[in-house]
Structure 1
């Protein structure tokens, strides 16, 4: 089983605490280039460094493509931190953090990617033709090509960092320590959603959008536990963010880009904010459950996590030998 993979590596509680701190520091180091670039640009134009404390102002200091790249760089550095922690602190093969299968199932990754990409394209197309006054076509070939190059490389790194940290590292770590599946599902989903509190979307739409963020965390956690691997979550998260960055932007979103469309409507926190959680995600779960023959929902989402007997005996023997 997926969480039990951690038993094959070094999994003492302090390793996860130290590992999380290292990963956090690595991701923060990744923000330094953006801060330096903004400061240099601001000072060179005679502006005040105090004016960039507001995130909305910060987003307009640099070219949007450069800003996007530098914002995503911190996630790439954070992903490197996850890899190094898993490899050297836990002595765990990275594939065991990815899946319970012998190797990563890329078919599952692409299926998760396709599900959300097709859905987003259809939904956006319907909304565009139903409410054309809400959109402005801002397609500009050269900036868009640059955006595509940046997004195709950096967005998967950003989403993979979040997946490997929450649905991977913390899911396994909390699971082997708590000896169950429901606690890591709840903690990782709530914390994942809570980290989006700083997003400008929350300020614009209100706290109701946290239902979407936390609900998305639960959805990604559920498909990880039911499928005994992160492949579907990796593909889904990457597809969601990539198509969003390339297709539609708005002045109040965290990622402002040279996308094809710009949403100029006044956003409101209506049913459409929580519709994905209440309608789309259950449909996606049914589709995935049918395709991959998921069974034993209760056991996989709420069951115990026990160390395999063979591993427990081996660890006991090793401990006795060392003493």
Structure 2
């Protein structure tokens, strides 16, 4: 049986945070320090952006992803050692992970995102510059498909898995943990350059995306759909188009020089696409008892020997 006292979640989050933001960042700090001329330059770059030191884009991406990989391993450690549960209980209520769900969600959002990029390109071709560099792009493809899913899996298992379960234990319902984790997920994107360029209204998109991914997890009794969606979203963003005005860029196929604007396109996914996707998933997987899953009382969970959440 798992041990799900709320204090264990607090301790577990501390361990995860140290693994993610302290231990996991050491390789990046070490490489950045080797690129810096002196300690002052290193400190200035730490406050701004380590890429200013001339670190290769793919190397920088790899070093950034290491922190999320360490964070993911920290989650597994916490679940097994502090909560004495099997990792599968964090991922899904099913006996084993449903990879078909992951791949369906991934493929669907990858296709939709690609179509939207093609429409954007043909609508404003002057905003894009061809940026194909064979070897850097091949390395980017390798990093994106191999390591980016680990980064997105960390975020999903932290927010839609660990924190949502922890707040569920404390609050005994699903809707409030859904709101709390979605707001936290959105606020953590506050350091993104989009916020500075577009203002605080862009948080509607970030928090809305968190709500959507949380709904997928609650209504489908597992994180598989959210895992596939999030991986596709980040891979498309890394591989196809990099923005000229963002601090962190990749060796993507195109560079976009379009000035960011806060218009309907910023909210289109939240207002239009996410509700449609919820309907598609609900029909395909025959979701039932929406009201009970969202607003019903959560009893103290325990884990049986077959790793089922009861």
TM-score under structure 1 length normalisation = 0.89
Asked whether the 8 Å contact 2:65–2:148 carries over to 1, the reply is yes
Say which SS state the counterpart of residue 31 (structure 1) adopts. Answer: helix
CA offsets, 1:165-196, max 9 Å, x none? 11001111111221111111111111011111
Aligned mates of 1:203, 1:187 — CA distance in 2: 23
Aligned mates of 1:79, 1:216 — CA distance in 2: 21
Out of 78, 89, 92, the residue aligned to residue 85 of structure 1 is 78
What corresponds to 2:141 in structure 1?
148
What corresponds to 2:26 in structure 1?
32
How far did 1:200 drift?
1.6
CA offsets, 1:228-273, max 9 Å, x none? 0000001100110011100110133364100111111111111111
Structure 1 residues 254, 116: CA separation in 2 closer, same or farther (over 3 Å shift)?
farther
The runs of 5 or more residues in structure 1 that have no matched partner are 1-7, 312-323
What corresponds to 2:205 in structure 1?
212
CA offsets, 1:174-226, max 9 Å, x none? 11221111111111111011111011221122111111111000000001000
Structure 1 residues 296, 32: CA separation in 2 closer, same or farther (over 3 Å shift)?
same
Say which SS state the counterpart of residue 4 (structure 2) adopts. Answer: coil
Q: Is residue 41 of structure 1 aligned with residue 35 of structure 2?
A: yes
How far did 1:50 drift?
4.0
Aligned mates of 2:269, 2:43 — CA distance in 1: 38
Q: 1:183-262 to 2 correspondence within 5 Å? A: 183-253=176-246, 255-262=248-255
Aligned mates of 1:308, 1:201 — CA distance in 2: 40
Query: Number of paired residues?
Result: 302
Say which SS state the counterpart of residue 129 (structure 2) adopts. Answer: strand
The alignment's C-alpha RMSD in Å is 1.8
Return structure 1 stretches of 4+ with deviation > 4 angstroms: 308-311
Say which SS state the counterpart of residue 216 (structure 1) adopts. Answer: helix
Q: Is residue 58 of structure 1 aligned with residue 45 of structure 2?
A: no
The runs of 5 or more residues in structure 2 that have no matched partner are 305-310
CA offsets, 1:7-38, max 9 Å, x none? x4101111111000000000011112112211
Aligned mates of 1:118, 1:95 — CA distance in 2: 28
What corresponds to 1:272 in structure 2?
265
Aligned mates of 2:153, 2:210 — CA distance in 1: 14
TM-score under structure 2 length normalisation = 0.93
Quick check: which one's helix share is greater?
1
Structure 1 residues 304, 252: CA separation in 2 closer, same or farther (over 3 Å shift)?
farther
